[in-house]
Amino acid sequence: MSSMPSPYDAAEPATDCRVAQAPEVPTAVVAQRSFPMHEMPSLMDGTFSYLAAALEGVGLSPIGPAFALHHRAPVSTADLEVGFPLDRPLTEPLTLPSGFEVTGSVLPAGRVAWTSHIGGYGGLAEKWGAFTEGIGESEEQMIYPFWEFYVTQPSPQVNPATLRTDLFSLLEPREA
């Protein structure tokens, strides 16, 4: 498993809001438009339960944790991509046993703000709120997309209080 370049390879969680330069990273995703938020668990389970094996079947390897990337703020529905970062691009679509279609995409290159959330997924909305406030106070401007990496793989054995989720937002480019 090759490692992802910074800021994605941070071994320790970020306790504050950080700004870093992120590289473009190829991804394999299930992309959905106007997806109902209340059905999110079925999308996550239907993707993450099968995607790694499907990628292995075509000779590709995830190089980092599962993620969800949002193209707009989710309200009752979301425009998002869920999947894995890859060692090289996915060139042919795949269909998962759950029926979801997987296509190649990318995490965008650029300046990003990022921080870590330690705890259950129920606390993510509050963390996103504090994160976006912190970005605003630092006089940075968030732009779409934004994404979260599920650094700790959830399982029945994992204590929700120890889950690590890294939050990322693309920032407006700065003049050199």
Q: What is the pLDDT of residue 3?
A: 43
Q: Decide if 5 is inside a domain.
A: no
CB 21 within 8 A of CB 111: yes
Is the Cβ–Cβ distance between 110 and 171 less than 8 Å?
yes
Q: Does residue 176 belong to any structural domain of this protein?
A: no
* Spatial separation of the C-alpha atoms in residues 65 and 166, rounded to whole Å: 10
List the CATH number of the domain containing 154: 3.20.80.10
CA–CA separation, 122 vs 104, rounded Å?
29
80 φψ region: left (φ > 0), alpha (ψ -120 to 50), beta (else):
beta
Rounded Cα–Cα distance for residues 104 and 68 (Å)? 14
Rounded to two decimals, what is the model's pTM?
0.92
Per-residue pLDDT of the chain (176 residues; tens, 9 = 90+): 334 556 888 888 998 889 999 999 999 999 999 999 999 999 999 999 999 999 999 999 999 999 999 999 999 999 999 999 999 999 999 999 999 999 999 999 999 999 999 999 889 999 999 999 999 998 899 999 999 999 998 778 888 899 999 999 999 988 76
Does residue 2 fall inside a structural domain? no
The residues facing 104 across adjacent strands are 28
User: Does residue 7 fall inside a structural domain?
Assistant: no
Our count of domains for the chain comes to: 1
In a domain? residue 70: yes
**44 close to 59: Cβ distance less than 8 angstroms:** no
Is there a domain that residue 71 lies in?
yes
If one counts every other C-beta atom within 10 angstroms of the C-beta of residue 86, the result is: 21
Residue 54, domain extent: 18-171
Is there a domain that residue 9 lies in?
Answer: no
Q: What are phi and psi of 53, to 5 degrees?
A: -65, -40
In a domain, 1, yes or no: no
